Amino acid sequence: MSSAKISLDKEAFFRRTKKIYTAWKASSSENGASFSEVDSIVVAVGNDDDVIYSKSTALHQWLFGYELTDTLLVLAESSVDILASKKKIDFLKPLQEAQKKHEGFPTINLHLRDKSDKDKTNIQKLIDVIKGSKKGKNVGVFQKDNFHNEFIDSWNDNFKKNSFRKVDISAHVAYAMASKEDSEVNHIKKASLVSSDIFSKFFKGHIMEIVDQEKRVKHSKIADNLDAALDSKKYLLAGMDSDQTEMCFSPIIQSGENYSLKFSATSNDDRLDYGVIICTFGVRYRYYCSSIIRTMLVQPTEEQQANYNILLSTLDAVVEKLKDGVKLSDVYNVAADHVKEKKPELQGNFVKSIGFATGIEFREGSLMINAKSNHKAQKGMVFCVSVGFSGLVKKGEDSKKDKQYALFIGDTVLVNENTAATLLTPAKKKINNVGIFLKDEDEQEDSDNADDEDLLRSAEGKSKLLENRTR
């Protein structure tokens, strides 16, 4: 993602840093060990192109609007200390002047890196800051983040020489960042609308063409074509910066009989099967993520359509329940109960998790929607919600022709105070929008009066495709 147009939003820095300090001072242990027990916070960001998502880089992007590589950030009781290169210090200097407007804010100290002694003196200064903050013992860190280079390794070596106790504060900081400001929601809305448009205006037609012309196309190739659709810029909204737009992850295309209803799945080199086709992808804009999941069904049976409609109403129940103050486990239970009510035999096929909070990090692991999550949704949080059935069987003429399949649908939604969550990915998903029904040539005469938008007219292919038509 391009950094050419990045600028420092000083007020956003102060506003958001205050949120971290406020959460730090709170005594709740809801998100793990009590955040208030931490004496200081250390965020060390190296320079690793392989790291796409991490708490450390997400915090940088949230506070500074940019990832400051090879930078040490120490939040102490009465100071904010940053050790960085000259270019980054120049970028941050306006914060010191702006601080005059924020009475009571910790003193901002900017330390210029000194390569002549490999930052030995600077590192010791930061160690002293940690020792002088509160009790000087418990240091809040992002435990899973593990950058490596000469600078960060030197810091880690010096840190280990002291008797500090590391405390993982990932969940605490995630919760503080989870409720989005209007500007953040605006970025997510744009990303979500682009995701929707790529599905509705590109992917559906692409799949219909493949099926109609009986092309043999690999899942991985279709995923590449989705990437290319975004790169074409034709689906961006007016005023969007294409340099700040990218896919959150490589698109996931699945069909055949092997499905994984997880975001860790990949598009393999199997050829597209003209049955159940699951598409999962999401666009990221100015660091903020979205996702959309749709299942397209070619010649679905009545039972497949019925199962799909149950899944659709289950997702509606999730969106309706997801409000400010509601436990995430309660949201999951509403979904599970809905499935039990509609078709009890599908309970064992239902997914164990139905979503997670999203934002700068695509998937916030501490804010999952499952049966065990005690966290509460808050107004302004954004979730990627998804419901699915796996291990379903499409009955053949005999048992040898039985075929396994899965169903998976999901959207990006915004949590409101007293009303259902707001849908941010409006691409239609009813069966008449995602079902593909083939017609033999001798049936074509009966469909000549169909609306143009319902009939995908093809110069080639042995059959015509009807979208928006149920049996």
The full 3-state SS of the chain, as one line of letters, equals: CCCCCCCCCHHHHHHHHHHHHHHHHCCCCCCCCCHHHCCEEEEEECCCCCCCCCHHHHHHHHHHCCCCCCEEEEECCCEEEEEECHHHHHHHCHHHHHHHHCCCCCEEEEEECCHHHCCHHHHHHHHHHHHCCCCCCEEEECCCCCCCCHHHHHHHHHHHCCCCEEEECHHHHHHHHHCCCHHHHHHHHHHHHHHHHHHHHHHHHHHHHHHHCCCCCEHHHHHHHHHHHHHCCCCCCCCCCHHHEEECCCCEEECCCCCCCCCCCCCCCCECCCCEEEEEECEEECCECCCEEEEEEECCCHHHHHHHHHHHHHHHHHHHHCECCCEHHHHHHHHHHHHHHHCHHHHHHECCEEEEECCCCCCEEEEEEECCCCCECCCCCEEEEEEEEEEEEECCCCHHHCEEEEEEEEEEEECECCCCCEECCCCCCCHHHHEEEEECHHHHHHHCCCCCCCEECCCCCCCEEECCCCC
d(CA 235, CA 68): 30
User: Which backbone phi and psi does 426 adopt, to 5 degrees?
Assistant: -80, 10
Structure tokens at 93: 């200097």
Percent of the chain with pLDDT over 70: 90
Whether residue 204 has pLDDT greater than 50: yes
Q: Give yes or no for a contact between 289 and 191, defined as CB atoms under 8 angstroms apart.
A: yes
- Report the CATH number of the 10-177 domain: 3.40.350.10
- Average pLDDT of the chain is 91
Query: What residue segments make up the domains of the chain, in order of their start?
Result: 10-177, 182-457
Say what the pLDDT of residue 28 is: 54
Q: Among 10-14, 91-95, 227-231, 445-449, which is the least confidently predicted range? A: 445-449
CA 396 to chain centre: 38
* CATH for the 182-457 domain, from 2.60.120.480, 3.90.230.10, 1.25.40.10, 3.40.1390.10: 3.90.230.10
d(CA 467, CA 464): 10
Average the pLDDT over 41-58 and give the result.
89
Binned at pLDDT 50, 70 and 90, residue 379 comes out as very high
Within 13 Å, how many C-alpha atoms sit on residue 194's CB side?
35
Whether residue 8 has pLDDT greater than 60: yes
Average the pLDDT over 279-299 and give the result.
97
pLDDT digits 0-9 by tens, 428-439: 999 999 999 987
Say what the pLDDT of residue 440 is: 61
Say what the pLDDT of residue 33 is: 59
Binned at pLDDT 50, 70 and 90, residue 398 comes out as low
Say what the pLDDT of residue 430 is: 97
Whether residue 94 has pLDDT greater than 70: yes
Say what the pLDDT of residue 49 is: 73
Binned at pLDDT 50, 70 and 90, residue 52 comes out as confident
Whether residue 289 has pLDDT greater than 80: yes
Structure tokens at 95: 């914060």
Binned at pLDDT 50, 70 and 90, residue 50 comes out as confident
Total-model pTM: 0.91
Average the pLDDT over 366-382 and give the result.
96
Whether residue 457 has pLDDT greater than 60: no
Whether residue 448 has pLDDT greater than 90: no
pLDDT digits 0-9 by tens, 306-322: 999 999 999 999 999 99
Higher confidence at residue 400 or residue 153? 153
Q: Give yes or no for a contact between 278 and 255, defined as CB atoms under 8 angstroms apart.
A: yes
pLDDT digits 0-9 by tens, 215-245: 999 999 999 999 999 999 999 999 999 999 9
Whether residue 191 has pLDDT greater than 70: yes
Using CA atoms, how far residue 339 sits from 193, 203, 211, 318, 368, in Å, is 29, 29, 31, 11, 19
Rg from Cα positions in the chain: 25
Whether residue 450 has pLDDT greater than 60: no
Whether residue 451 has pLDDT greater than 90: no
Q: Among 20-24, 32-36, 62-66, 169-173, which is the least confidently predicted range? A: 32-36
Closest by Cα among 401, 409, 427, 196 to 307: 409
Tokens 């200081």 -> residue: 40
